[in-house]
Amino acid sequence: MSNINDNISAKLNYGLTTLNLKLDSNKIEKLLVLIKELERWNKKINLTAIRSIEDMVSGHLLDSLIVGPHLRGKSIIDVGTGAGFPGLPLAIIDPSLEFLLLDSNGKKIGFIKHIINILELKNTSAIKNRAEDYVPSNGFDTVIARALTDLPRLICLTEHMLHEAGSIIALKGKKPITEIQKIPAAWKASVCRVSVPGLETHERHIISLTKPVK
């Protein structure tokens, strides 16, 4: 078990260094607790298709943290968050931001609330609801979604969650050229290809969708 823990810590620290993220030991420990709990719960409840805790470092933690520089504003909603990605890792590394994690799966929201409780994440909350049914009292600065749906539908599902100058950030694999061509004319898309440590052979793109303020 010690060797496994050492390997996980080494892989995470290598990834953080590669992404030029300098985190204190407390935040690193919280990230490690997150995936250890994910692995433990995943044996009983199907939370993620990634079974190996070593693969969770790249496939969940680093793949989530890669989006950090693209977030805008202070209030973030992670739509279709699943077991809490990318929202939980992003909330751990930046307590100055406020995160709401939204998903229709009650078991996954249960896991997220467990993590929020044991890690004492004061900047994070979770709600079980469908995106099309959730109407926030105040608009968010950023909507984030990881491999949730195509871009035109993502805009349709989440536009009502944003304030006027808000943006939608979609994490994708291959560059979704056809999807970009089909977004509403009022929206603009910017594309950034990123490399996730440990997933270098997998294409990853971050799509930022903005609607110019009138």
In sign, the C-alpha dihedral spanning 37, 40, 45, 46 is: positive
* Amino acid at the residue 111: F
| Residue burial 2-34, b: 16+ Cβ < 10 Å; e: rest | eeeeeebeebbeebbeebebebeeebbebbbeb
Phi first, then psi, for residue 126 (nearest 5°) are -140, 145
* pLDDT at res. 98: 98
Model pLDDT, residue 1: 43
Q: How many CB atoms lie within 10 A of CB 125?
A: 15
**Could you read off the pLDDT of 142-153 as tens digits, one per residue?**
999 997 899 999
pLDDT tens digit sequence for 100-121:
999 999 999 999 999 999 999 9
Report the alpha-carbon distance of residue 171 to residue 86 in Å, rounded.
Answer: 9
Cα gap 99→103, rounded to integer Å: 13
Domains belonging to the chain, first-starting first, are 2-210 (3.40.50.150)
Tokens in use for 115? Answer: 């993590």
Average pLDDT on 20-27 reads 96
